[in-house]
Structure 1
Amino acid sequence: MEKPGLLPLLDARLPLTEEGVAEAARLAGVSLAQAWGVVRYYPRYGEVREGRYLVDDPVARARGIGSLLEGTVGTHPPLGLEALAPAYVRVEGEERWVEVGGRAEPFATFRLPFALGHGRKLLPPEPTDTLEAYRAQGGLRALEAARKGDLTPEALLKAVEEAGLLGRGGAAFPTHLKLRAVARGEAPRYLVVNGDESEPGNFKDRFLLEHHPFLVLEGALLAGFAVGASRVYLYIREEFQAAIRGLKEAIGALEEAGLLLVPTEVFQSGGLYICGEETALLESMEGRRAEPRLKPPFPVEKGLWGRPTAVQNVETLAAIPRILEGLEAWRREEPKLFSISGDVAAPGLYELPLGTPLGEALRRAGGEPEGLKAVLLGGAAGVFTRDFAFPLRYRERLPLGAGAVVAFGEGVDLWAVLEGLAHFFQEESCGKCFPCPLGTTVQLALVQRRVRDARLVEDLASTLKGSLCGLGQSAYWAYRSLLEVEGAA
């Protein structure tokens, strides 16, 4: 049965007191011990030291983290600001600020610059902050057709299947299979939008949420309509405050226009990398620590509150209205968003056809492959490569992930970048299964000592492969690939 979520109840009582935690536990129907376990688990409920923090991402590491840390009190996990790096977070009392290029803006209003987006289908040619602006760009046609009965759930599912749409969050699972599995389940069913983008190097979902909320919502509502969902939840990273506010306003506008086909609400995420794993995400929504579940059963069978649940990535859902606009056009040039940052002249978000060679993608962003030492493809859970002819599409030799591309010039110390990735995995491991916290801790020590023993790395890989979820299972990819790049140099 659906209950008030513990996290929203705790958020409503910030700053927390013993009485506030006890009241939240009572309203959520959970034990006081569980409530305190959640409070101690999620960083946002702890005390944060005031001061200036460096956003620790691969680009900052490449710029020389030692000098960037001067005048700071520590580091902050990546925030999807790689195209603007180095960036800082400033904490003053209860307020948080993003600082880029010497200018500071509150979290509540900060958005990625609109000029970072380059595309035609998935990216808006101009801001679409209002329903009228989105409609003027051709939006809402599919949603209105569904409301009038001109578009049936089966027709929608068939279009998604014929488009061959794969999940854009990194797993590349066929979207129609997940949606059909939920549609076959017993009611109530749910659709959850996974907007907890925490992978270093990625900022595509953040950009869509901040600048194209109506496209994301139209896709989510259509998917919810197709599976017969009783409710749609948008699980959004807690730090994306401007996106959260904009989504709530967009939901209100759609409801006023009679286009909110399924009740929809925003849920602030737990604020950890592991929250992006779909079962850990569901655990946090149910008011527990964000720890992956054993599978099977899968969420499509037993997800949120034990009901059939489709968890879909932001970009995946944004693709659905575009597919319905013209299936053949979509199939001719299937667009994918790539977050390109680092040593390129114009870092930003680029919409490119799947299969575009890596070198061509870099040149679109003003990068010259011949002058690069390597590229980190796929983010922290990705690989270093110099294969600039590699076609950027799924189910190839290298992992595409969610589409992060971070370029590093000849002067970059790639081991410093790798140390940042290793530290990220070690910090973000939830600790539920033994191989992950053990393996990521050992990996960090090896990387800090710059151990180049390939056999030792394979032993490390054997340990991490036993992890419960993808965080641990992919944690060694960048380490192993860096040794390969060095060997090929």
Structure 2
Amino acid sequence: MENPSLLPLLDARMPLTEEKVAEAARLAGVPLAQAWGVVRYYPRYRGLPQGRLLVDDPVARSRGFARLREAADGTYPPLGLEAFSPIHVRFTPEGRFVEWAGGLVPFRDFRLPFAIGHGSRLIPPEPILSLAQYRALGGLKALSALRQGQGSPDGVIRAVEEAGLLGRGGAAFPAHVKMRAVAKGASPKYLVVNADESEPGNFKDRFLLEHHPFLVLEGALLAALAVGAQKVYLYVREEFEAAQTGLLSATRELEEAGLLPVPTEVFRSGGLYICGEETALLESMEGKRAEPRLKPPFPVEQGLWGRPTLVQNVETLANLPLLLQEGPGAWRAREPKLFSISGDVARPGLYELPLGTPLGEALRRAGGEPEELQAVLLGGAAGVFTRDFAFPLRFKERLPLGAGALVAFGGGVDLWEVLLGLVHFLKEESCGKCFPCPLGTAVQVELVKRRERNRALVRDLAETLRGSLCGLGQSAYWAYQSLLEVEGAA
């Protein structure tokens, strides 16, 4: 039996003192030095900024950022609120609040407005926050069928393979490959739902967690049964307090109804962008600094506590009930993908569109006019600027689709200010473990500040960053390089 994880033990003892840190370290079975290293690493332990904070996302950067910054006490990283940006939050000794509709809404009560969701398969007709609602919608059919022997664990994996489901977290890795590798591993095994959505411009996972938690849970349980996992962990972004509360409630309902075949726990994330990288996520769950591991071995071989672990994105797992009910062929014929569309469009929101939809068509669905735009940021900070409005929005194409964030910028926007926000974000969120990333991201900020267009310098920067340990550093130069390409094509 593993020791309790250090992060929840520290959370339960806030505000921290030397005695409380020592007690948490003892209960977690870790050296005191490790515990203090964790306390000084994660923002919520070392002290969050206080006051009225401007959420510094790509949309805010395009809406007179300097003026907005002057009216705030500081800034805070993106929170999946780009559809309403610019927006402010308030951090006080009494709690954390979103400035909303002329008032203050606590984080624990704030959900994205349901009206921003547009779709019919992954997005429900209304918020589904109770088990009765979910079952009335036809939910749990796939899970019940599997538990009643109408399918098999290997059959689930074969269906995922036949459908060609790719991971929706950004890497687009074949889901069945990871599932099969974990299924072959020795017990105990784990499944971790990566709900640490921190990419600027993305709010798809947040929407699903806040409005359709039972769908995510059913998908996670299906995958857990398919690979033989002994426990499911939902690793939820630290700031998504309403989502955490909703998942806890949904899990309790399933358990009380006898419909929770695998023990399931909600785990509050470390609160950093790097926590979305699957091995850094596992490190934080084990009570360490969220730093990427060397690979191999991969998590499917040696993941959480050294055991085979399946780490999958929220949207990836949310597709499993649909895929199994419709059948792989029917699902693949209309393969759905969620796109977070914000910026200079009339109806910012979350749009469920078939993979392969042209970029221009996606923008028009949201009330955007491609011919009036300078560019679109595709994929967030780890993405690219483009003016290719005929580009088909699917994986494994010329441009990286990422997790599906689309931020549109009109003719009057200073794209260099937007880029400066992105590169500053990447510099601040670098974990510092490997040499190329903290060095390269710091140099990149200075180059962007002076609006350096020397392509040879950018090529040197790219060579440095490509040597980084994980995707944060390896993709950190993409937006910079692509902006130069967009300018050259203008």
For residues 212 and 98 of structure 2, what CA distance do their matches in structure 1 show? 21
Residue number in structure 1 paired with 2:472: 471
Alignment TM-score, normalising by the size of structure 1: 0.99
Residue number in structure 1 paired with 2:412: 411
For residues 48 and 480 of structure 2, what CA distance do their matches in structure 1 show? 31
Asked if 2 retains the 8 angstrom alpha-carbon contact of 1:87 and 1:101, the reply is no
Q: Name the SS for the 2:187 alignment partner.
A: coil
The answer for unaligned runs of 5 or more in structure 1 is none
Q: Name the SS for the 2:40 alignment partner.
A: helix
Using the TM superposition, give the Cα deviation of residue 478 of structure 1 relative to its aligned residue in structure 2, in angstroms: 0.1
Using the TM superposition, give the Cα deviation of residue 346 of structure 1 relative to its aligned residue in structure 2, in angstroms: 0.2
CA shift digits 1:22-80 (9 cap, x unpaired): 10000000011100000000001122343100000000000011111133111001000
Structure 2 residue identity aligned to 1:439? G
For residues 459 and 101 of structure 1, what CA distance do their matches in structure 2 show? 47
Structure 2 residue identity aligned to 1:371? E
Residue number in structure 2 paired with 1:237: 237
The answer for unaligned runs of 5 or more in structure 2 is none
Residue number in structure 2 paired with 1:213: 213
CA shift digits 1:150-196 (9 cap, x unpaired): 22101111111111000000000000110000000000000000000
Q: Name the SS for the 1:41 alignment partner.
A: coil
Using the TM superposition, give the Cα deviation of residue 145 of structure 1 relative to its aligned residue in structure 2, in angstroms: 1.1
For residues 345 and 217 of structure 2, what CA distance do their matches in structure 1 show? 32
Q: Name the SS for the 1:172 alignment partner.
A: coil
Q: Residues 365-444 of structure 1 correspond to what in structure 2 (within 5 A)?
A: 365-444=366-445
Residue number in structure 1 paired with 2:127: 127
Q: Residues 5-20 of structure 1 correspond to what in structure 2 (within 5 A)?
A: 5-20=5-20
What CA RMSD, in Å, does the superposition of the two structures yield over aligned residues? Answer: 0.8
CA shift digits 1:230-256 (9 cap, x unpaired): 000000001000000000000001111
Structure 1 residue identity aligned to 2:179? L
Residue number in structure 2 paired with 1:228: 228
Using the TM superposition, give the Cα deviation of residue 101 of structure 1 relative to its aligned residue in structure 2, in angstroms: 5.1
Structure 1 residue identity aligned to 2:192? V
Q: Residues 73-472 of structure 1 correspond to what in structure 2 (within 5 A)?
A: 73-100=73-100, 102-327=102-327, 328-472=329-473
CA shift digits 1:401-437 (9 cap, x unpaired): 0000000000000000000001000000000000000
Q: Name segments (4+ residues, structure 1) moved above 3 Å.
A: 100-103
For residues 234 and 395 of structure 2, what CA distance do their matches in structure 1 show? 25
Residue number in structure 1 paired with 2:55: 55
Asked if 2 retains the 8 angstrom alpha-carbon contact of 1:372 and 1:407, the reply is yes
Structure 1 residue identity aligned to 2:435? F
CA 1:439–1:103 in 2, change beyond 3 Å: closer, same or farther? same
For residues 48 and 303 of structure 1, what CA distance do their matches in structure 2 show? 30
Deviates more, 1:404-413 or 1:86-95: 86-95
CA 1:70–1:174 in 2, change beyond 3 Å: closer, same or farther? same
Deviates more, 1:69-78 or 1:121-130: 69-78
For residues 336 and 49 of structure 2, what CA distance do their matches in structure 1 show? 43
Using the TM superposition, give the Cα deviation of residue 452 of structure 1 relative to its aligned residue in structure 2, in angstroms: 0.5
Using the TM superposition, give the Cα deviation of residue 290 of structure 1 relative to its aligned residue in structure 2, in angstroms: 0.1
Structure 1 residue identity aligned to 2:458? V
Residue number in structure 1 paired with 2:23: 23
Q: Name the SS for the 1:423 alignment partner.
A: helix
CA shift digits 1:379-418 (9 cap, x unpaired): 1000000000000000000000000000000000000000
Using the TM superposition, give the Cα deviation of residue 228 of structure 1 relative to its aligned residue in structure 2, in angstroms: 0.3
Structure 2 residue identity aligned to 1:319? N
Query: How many pairs align?
Result: 489
For residues 291 and 470 of structure 2, what CA distance do their matches in structure 1 show? 9
Asked if 1 retains the 8 angstrom alpha-carbon contact of 2:188 and 2:308, the reply is yes
CA shift digits 1:254-276 (9 cap, x unpaired): 11111111100000000000000
For residues 422 and 416 of structure 2, what CA distance do their matches in structure 1 show? 10
Deviates more, 1:60-69 or 1:459-468: 60-69
For residues 207 and 128 of structure 2, what CA distance do their matches in structure 1 show? 12
Q: Name the SS for the 1:457 alignment partner.
A: helix
For residues 429 and 50 of structure 1, what CA distance do their matches in structure 2 show? 22
Asked if 1 retains the 8 angstrom alpha-carbon contact of 2:426 and 2:441, the reply is yes
Alignment TM-score, normalising by the size of structure 2: 0.99
Structure 2 residue identity aligned to 1:241? E
Deviates more, 1:14-23 or 1:338-347: 14-23
Deviates more, 1:136-145 or 1:409-418: 136-145
Structure 2 residue identity aligned to 1:61? R
For residues 103 and 67 of structure 2, what CA distance do their matches in structure 1 show? 19
For residues 30 and 424 of structure 2, what CA distance do their matches in structure 1 show? 34
Q: Name the SS for the 2:483 alignment partner.
A: helix
Q: Name the SS for the 1:337 alignment partner.
A: strand
Structure 2 residue identity aligned to 1:433? C
